[in-house]
C-alpha cells in the first residue's frame, strides 16, 4: 500500500503529459506545426491534438487560422507576467549567497543599482581574523570598485549613465584630471571585464582588500544585480580563471536563471562608457 507521503505526492498524470506540449512551445520560441510540436513533446500527433484543443479552450494555446501553427496563448502570457512580477532578486539570492559564502569562505554580497549608485542590499560575512567592512546600504563607487565596474560593464540604463557621469566629473575635479582621461583609463578595464564575464578590483577601493563581482541578468537580458565577494590579499585569488572567480560567476548564473534569464537572452553589445560625452 502507498504511504501517506506517496499519496500526497500523487498527481494527475495527464496534466503532466500535456505540460510537455507547453514546454516544447516555450522552448521553441516561435509558432509550431502540430507534427513538429508533437515530435518535440514525444507523443503521437493525434494525442497532442486532443491536449491542444483543451489548452486552446483555456487560453493556454492559440492557433493561427491561416498557417495552422500553434503558439502560447493569452493565459500563458498572464501566468508568465504574474510569475515574473514575483521574482525578487534579494529573496531569491539569499540562499545562493549563503551557499557561495560556505563554498569559498569569503564575505559575499548582493548589490543593486540604487538612487546613489551600486548599493549593497544583502551580505553574508564569512568571519575569520580579518573582517571586511561591508554593510547593507553601503554605496560603492562605479569606477574603482569591483561591484561598480560590473555595473559599468553591463548596465546601460540612462540612470546608470547619469550616475557615472556625475562620479567621473567629481573625480576629475578632485584629481585635476579630465573626464576624457578618466574614461580613457577605464575603458580597457571594462573591456577586460566583459571579456572574462566578471569584474575585479585589487586594493583600489580599500587597501589590502581584493574583490570580484559578477553580473546578474533578468529575463530580458538586462543586468539587475551583482554578486560580489571581498577578501584580503594573500587569501583572495584574483586570477581571472581562479576557482574563486568561477564560483562567483556560477552563483550569478544560478540567480540569473532563477530570474528567467537564458543563454539566448540578449545582452548589450557595448558598455555605457561608449556613450559618455568627453
Task: Indicate whether 2 pLDDT > 60.
Answer: no
Task: Indicate whether 272 pLDDT > 80.
Answer: no
Domains annotated for the chain, with CATH where assigned, are: 4-85 (1.10.10.10), 89-275 (3.30.450.40)
Q: Quick one: pLDDT at residue 132? A: 58
Task: Indicate whether 173 pLDDT > 60.
Answer: yes
Provide the 10 A C-beta neighbour count for residue 271: 22
Question: Mind listing the pLDDT tens digit for each residue in 18-66?
Answer: 899 999 988 887 899 999 999 999 999 999 999 999 999 999 999 999 9
Alpha-carbon gap, residue 95 to 90, rounded angstroms: 10
Which H/E stretch holds residue 217? strand 209-217
Task: Indicate whether 267 pLDDT > 60.
Answer: no
Which H/E stretch holds residue 124? strand 117-124
Q: Which contacts qualify for 61-64: CB closer than 8 Å, 24 or more apart?
A: 61/21, 61/22, 61/25, 64/31
Question: Mind listing the pLDDT tens digit for each residue in 59-115?
Answer: 999 999 999 999 998 888 788 767 656 668 888 999 999 999 999 998 899 999 888
Amino acid at each position: 500500500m502507498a504511504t501517506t507521503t506517496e499519496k500526497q505526492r500523487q498527481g494527475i498524470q495527464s496534466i503532466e503529459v500535456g505540460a510537455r506540449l507547453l514546454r516544447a512551445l516555450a522552448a521553441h520560441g516561435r509558432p509550431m506545426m502540430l507534427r513538429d510540436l508533437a515530435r518535440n513533446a514525444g507523443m503521437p500527433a493525434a494525442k497532442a491534438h486532443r491536449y491542444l484543443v483543451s489548452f486552446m479552450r483555456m487560453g493556454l494555446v492559440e492557433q493561427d487560422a491561416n498557417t495552422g501553427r500553434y503558439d502560447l496563448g493569452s493565459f500563458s502570457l498572464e501566468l508568465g507576467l504574474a510569475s515574473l512580477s514575483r521574482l525578487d532578486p534579494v529573496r531569491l539570492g539569499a540562499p545562493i549567497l549563503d551557499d557561495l559564502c560556505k563554498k569559498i569562505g569569503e564575505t559575499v554580497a548582493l548589490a543593486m543599482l540604487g538612487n546613489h549608485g551600486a548599493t549593497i542590499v544583502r551580505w553574508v560575512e564569512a568571519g575569520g581574523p580579518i573582517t571586511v567592512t561591508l554593510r547593507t546600504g553601503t554605496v560603492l563607487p562605479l569606477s574603482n570598485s569591483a561591484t561598480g565596474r560590473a555595473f559599468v560593464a553591463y548596465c546601460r540604463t540612462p540612470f546608470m549613465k547619469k550616475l557615472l557621469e556625475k562620479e567621473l566629473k567629481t573625480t576629475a575635479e578632485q584629481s585635476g584630471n579630465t573626464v576624457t582621461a578618466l574614461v580613457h583609463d577605464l575603458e580597457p578595464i571594462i573591456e577586460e571585464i566583459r571579456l572574462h564575464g566578471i569584474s575585479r578590483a585589487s586594493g583600489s577601493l580599500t587597501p589590502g582588500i581584493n574583490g570580484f563581482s559578477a553580473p546578474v541578468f533578468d529575463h530580458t537580458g538586462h543586468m539587475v544585480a551583482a554578486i560580489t565577494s571581498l577578501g584580503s590579499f594573500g587569501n583572495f585569488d584574483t586570477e581571472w580563471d581562479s576557482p574563486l572567480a568561477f564560483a562567483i560567476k556560477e552563483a550569478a548564473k544560478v540567480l540569473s536563471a532563477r530570474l528567467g534569464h537564458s543563454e539566448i537572452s540578449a545582452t548589450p553589445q557595448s558598455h555605457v562608457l561608449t556613450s559618455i560625452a568627453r
